[in-house]
Structure 1
């Protein structure tokens, strides 16, 4: 008997605080006007996507002591945007990145429970930690938590929020969902938590929401992050979008689930993926080259090189050779608030490898950054892209993809109109939503049902 086809999960990422968006395109729009978010969300819902994903930047990034003017410089509060989108969509899941390093469990749990009620059970929380003191300067907690402490706090943060959500669980707790008044049981919402990071007690004032808890996403790629996801998350926002890397990551994370009494289908792996579509594969390849050159201007190339060199390279010609001087391996002081800095843990080795590549290929600084930077994951005609996505999912390199278009807000439209119908024809993507909640879209059980299974076992 042949193996049944897996159903593909698709989501849309509203591009975050980065230089993914091609601002020079006449179709590029605002990252702060609500009309951009609304257009993006409505397109995703028209295509029957599982959810919209919204990242969050907690501080304006700096380069050389000045605000980095090549990025999106700011955006409205995540909860505010998602709550507004709940009013202009009916089925689309609403996923927001909320930091566990600088917030408190009670306020975050209250916000997500409220969003779940307002949206009819469509909320999801991407649980992240913060790694740098620079961002922490905006908050009382600051950036003093080392990596192991950040994950320790994140685990307790999530567990504490779960206790708050669950303080309204049970048949003995009844409330009028229209007026919010109690009908019975004075214990409803009562909680006590005493732990290493949080010591709180009181009464949670938002009744049990349609999903019980928001769907939990996690985005860390370290060993600690993978364990955190295996123990507590419903889905992983992964960066491994190539076939080989995706299969390795998929296998590694799924095998960890058994340790926590979980099944492989209780955790979805959803890499971020970019795309460029053309009428033919050749046309798409040419468009992709042009997009990469638009994304990496000369100024952007120099700024990117500074992530590695940790030096002011503004005097260098982006169309000239790489610097002869070596990177400064000391504490990073050029680029602040940028996750890319962490990607180059051995800057001297990276510089040597890049010089060898540039010499062998006669690349300029800009050429090198274009060639070594993030390429589009899916490039081709609609038929080619649909086949590639399906091949990846059926080969267990992913359970689906979170798509990141390079034009906001209309860049998702062509995918919705030309690729989604092909996946639907193949029977690997829905033609209609099967249920009202995000858990329904993702094929995830309600937390109360999962708890019942565990108790029974």
Structure 2
């Protein structure tokens, strides 16, 4: 009786900068903007032989009630700058950056990623995202907003156009000449012309074809449009389902879309984000996880989160008291600006009704309710328990691997690298050394156009 081959696990790490999983009050917490923090995190990820590190991007400081949101007060550095600097202090780890498709232009983005791929010798990756709000767009253009259908249309065309630029150096031969120096025999190198709904550009791309041909393409999003976008052109998708049943359903759905684009299952990796809390024993880890959740959701954080739904100033309410008896204020103008979580609550009145029922049934305060209704840690337990859980989910086709999100900056990945990784290596499901030099090598992806001589 035949059995399915053992899958190799893909693991990466998200730099825990500006997000609600970070515990800033922990004495071990450090800066999310000092370069030393990025270096520590990147070198830990590389020591653990992870596929890549991932940087999110914030294009505007988030606001709530007319004030800058507390996690943004020290700023949000530029993704390309950080990744280029990290390329100089690492050797193998992939370098993935979130770059927005709504406000950027294809020539500029393609040039930056092709340059990063050269500087890193083939380790660059682009997480293609859209932007949903005019508030962020004000940093780029007046009324900087696109309807939902136009955002994905622009993203698809921007990616297609960038790929045309990446491929515009079609292997043209470079010839050395003692008199005039190096010159191109094929004068078509870098020439491009694109005519489309969103872009009408023509010229010559000035960065030669990079070590990977194109950077690895990631997509983050769970919508119907996002899943289809990933199936059509991404190399990997960030999922948000870390449980067996939900993970398998998402995995089957997205992988099932590949065939109509002429793609096979191994051409798209599904990598959910995953938080973790480790302990010497499972019981110790669960006790620590409870404390981490309380630190992640302080009283002030709970009130701010509730304001996303109520769309009102709730600062007068006690986070350890009951939910407000007034209803949410429904409307387009929201108290929280630039916060992705605002989009989660399409029907604030219904959300408030459900939360009141839950709070009454379990006698929950505001803070306790927010803890109960926001994401728990994906993996909690001893190193052995977590290693076993990760392997079980990957072998069951609930994921191809995970993007680890520590709750401490920058040293939160250290204990995972020192305890869980060796156990996965002993099981034979994770590499002990890098076998290739590029990120495509790490992920088992082919070089685009290689079969066409590009």
Write out aligned runs for 1:15-414 (5 A): 15-71=16-72, 73-140=74-141, 142-170=143-171, 172-174=172-174, 181-414=182-415
Deviation at 1:71, TM superposition (A): 4.5
In structure 1, distance between residues paired with 2:149 and 2:372? 34
Deviations 1:65-101 (A, max 9, x none): 1111145642221000000000110000000000010
In structure 2, distance between residues paired with 1:154 and 1:271? 22
Deviation at 1:143, TM superposition (A): 3.2
Moved more, 240-249 or 431-440: 240-249
Residue 437 (structure 1) aligns with:
438
> Can you give the 5+ residue segments of structure 1 that lack an aligned partner in the other structure?
none
Deviations 1:374-428 (A, max 9, x none): 1100000000000000000001000000000000100000000000000000000
Deviation at 1:180, TM superposition (A): 9.8
In structure 2, distance between residues paired with 1:297 and 1:375? 15
SS at match of 1:436: coil
Residues 305 and 175 (structure 1), Cα distance of their counterparts in 2 relative to 1, 3 Å cut: farther
In structure 1, distance between residues paired with 2:181 and 2:110? 17
Q: Does the 8 A contact of 1:131 with 1:143 survive in 2?
A: no
Q: Does the 8 A contact of 2:191 with 2:205 survive in 1?
A: yes
Residues 403 and 141 (structure 1), Cα distance of their counterparts in 2 relative to 1, 3 Å cut: farther
CA RMSD of aligned residues (A): 1.5
Deviation at 1:198, TM superposition (A): 0.5
Deviation at 1:181, TM superposition (A): 4.3
In structure 2, distance between residues paired with 1:61 and 1:181? 49
State how many pairs are aligned.
450
In structure 2, distance between residues paired with 1:141 and 1:440? 42
Deviation at 1:245, TM superposition (A): 1.1
SS at match of 1:20: coil
SS at match of 1:56: coil
Residues 264 and 155 (structure 1), Cα distance of their counterparts in 2 relative to 1, 3 Å cut: same
> Can you give the 5+ residue segments of structure 2 that lack an aligned partner in the other structure?
none
Deviations 1:173-224 (A, max 9, x none): 4367xx9943311111011111110011111000010000000000021111
In structure 2, distance between residues paired with 1:342 and 1:419? 35
SS at match of 1:256: coil
1:449 to 2:454 alignment: no
TM-score, with normalisation over the residues of structure 1? 0.96
Deviation at 1:6, TM superposition (A): 0.3
Residues 175 and 379 (structure 1), Cα distance of their counterparts in 2 relative to 1, 3 Å cut: farther
Residues 417 and 141 (structure 1), Cα distance of their counterparts in 2 relative to 1, 3 Å cut: farther
Residues 70 and 446 (structure 1), Cα distance of their counterparts in 2 relative to 1, 3 Å cut: closer
Deviation at 1:226, TM superposition (A): 0.7
SS at match of 1:401: strand
Deviation at 1:431, TM superposition (A): 0.3
In structure 1, distance between residues paired with 2:329 and 2:163? 44
SS at match of 2:13: strand
